[in-house]
Amino acid sequence: MKKRGSKDKIQHDGTVREVGVDSVVVSIVSCSACSGCKARGVCGMTEREEKIIDIRGKYDVFPGDKVTVQMEESAGMRAVLLSYLVPFFIVIGGLIVFQSLSINELTSGLISIALLVPWFLILYLFRNKIDRSFTFTLKT
């Protein structure tokens, strides 16, 4: 959720769970679009998910404090690119190529999905480098 007045930052409110020597663990509760619905307590479809974020750095906060976690908007766009757009184009590209080679649809679909294995293996192998590029900070 991007707040007004925050230029090029993605911000979420959270609660400090732990404070370490050089890091802070923050809990963010993410709610689905149903969160504003008056019937959300009755229907059982409400999606509330708690996310735990480890923020590197020294901050003057204590467990239980309400804080705002922020991340560069460009990092969020990079995450979307790596996790959604590249796999989408791999599958669609594979389908187009295999269909043009007159391979039946089932085989084309299965091979196109199998093409995702190398992509996710690459992401797995470079996970530490990718993780360092997604930095969270606390808004001061």
pLDDT one digit per residue (tens) for the chain, 140 residues: 444 444 678 888 899 998 988 889 999 887 665 555 655 555 555 566 788 888 888 888 999 999 998 888 888 888 889 999 999 999 999 999 999 999 999 999 999 999 999 999 999 999 988 888 778 888 86
Q: Residue 93 has which token pair?
A: 């590209």
Per DSSP, what are the bridge partners of residue 53?
Answer: 26
Rounded to whole angstroms, the Cα distance separating 72 from 74 reads: 5
Full-model pTM: 0.64
Alpha helix ranges (H) inside 44-84: 73-80
Q: In what order do the strands lie in the sheet with 136-138?
A: 48-56, 23-31, 9-19, 66-72, 136-138
Q: What is the pLDDT of residue 38?
A: 55
Q: H or E element: which one contains 127?
A: helix 127-133
The separation between CA 52 and the C-alpha centre of its own chain, rounded to angstroms, equals 12
Residue 5, pLDDT score: 46
